[in-house]
């Protein structure tokens, strides 16, 4: 009867959710980025050459650490809201606070990556 139940990724991404919805999507990307980063990191430690090459690439570092840092800060927001359901009333403020914590750390991280990229 009728059409298939059809919520492909493209349709889903077009849903007009607000900031928490985008945080959710970035969180998935961040989880995968961290997973990739640590996999490559462990391979590099084990002496795999091409893994060391990727790990040394500052574009790779920026990509995985940006999304990864977001994952960690956003993960803390989710954990806090899960532990204190009463705070969920303040979820909009929680998102602002999250950015207030994220941006300075992000700036610092970019500084460190660029410094080591330039300094060699």
Partner 1 sequence: MEVTLKIFRYNPEVDKKWHYETYSIEAEETDRILDLLEKVKGHVDGTLSFRRSCAHGVCGSDALRINGRNYLACKTLVRDVGHKITVEPLLGLKVIKDLIVDMEPFFNNYKKVLPYFINESPLPADGKERLQSPEDRARFDETTKCILCAACTTSCPSYWGNESYLGPAALVTAHRFIFDSRDEAASQRLEILSETNGVARCHTIFNCTMACPRDIKITKAIGELKMAMVTGKLD
Q: List for the chain the helix, strand, coil content (%; round to 5).
A: 85, 0, 15
Say how many C-beta atoms besides its own lie within 10 A of residue 57's C-beta: 13
Tell the residue number behind the tokens 């914590």, with chain if given: 101
**Binding residue for ligand HEM, selected from 38, 50, 99, 111, defined by CB under 6 A:** 38
Under rule CB under 8 A, residue 10 binds partner 1: no
**Binding residue for ligand HEM, selected from 20, 26, 29, 31, defined by CB under 6 A:** 31
Under rule CB under 8 A, residue 82 binds partner 1: yes
Stretch that binds ligand HEM, among 56-64, 69-77, 88-96, 99-107 (CB under 6 A): 69-77
Stretch that binds partner 1, among 32-40, 51-59, 82-90, 98-106 (CB under 8 A): 82-90
SS3 of residue 78 by DSSP: helix
Task: Give least dist CB 52 to ligand HEM, A.
Answer: 19
Q: How far is CA 65 from CA 9, 43, 69, 82, 117, in A?
A: 25, 17, 6, 25, 14
Is residue 39 within 8 Å of 25, Cβ to Cβ? Answer: no
Which residues contribute to the site for partner 1 (CB under 8 A)?
1-5, 7, 11-12, 14-18, 20-21, 24, 78, 81-83, 85-86, 88-89, 91
């Amino acid at each position: 009867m009728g059409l298939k139940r059809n919520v492909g990724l493209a349709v889903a991404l077009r849903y007009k959710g607000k900031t928490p919805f985008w945080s959710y999507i970035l969180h998935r990307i961040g989880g995968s980025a961290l997973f990739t980063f640590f996999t490559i990191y462990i391979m590099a430690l084990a002496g795999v050459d091409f893994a060391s090459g990727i790990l040394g690439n500052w574009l790779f570092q920026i990509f995985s650490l940006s999304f990864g840092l977001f994952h960690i800060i956003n993960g803390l927001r989710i954990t806090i809201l899960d532990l204190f359901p009463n705070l969920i009333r303040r979820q909009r403020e929680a998102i602002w606070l999250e950015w207030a914590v994220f941006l300075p750390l992000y700036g610092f991280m970019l500084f460190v990556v660029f410094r080591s990229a330039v300094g060699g």
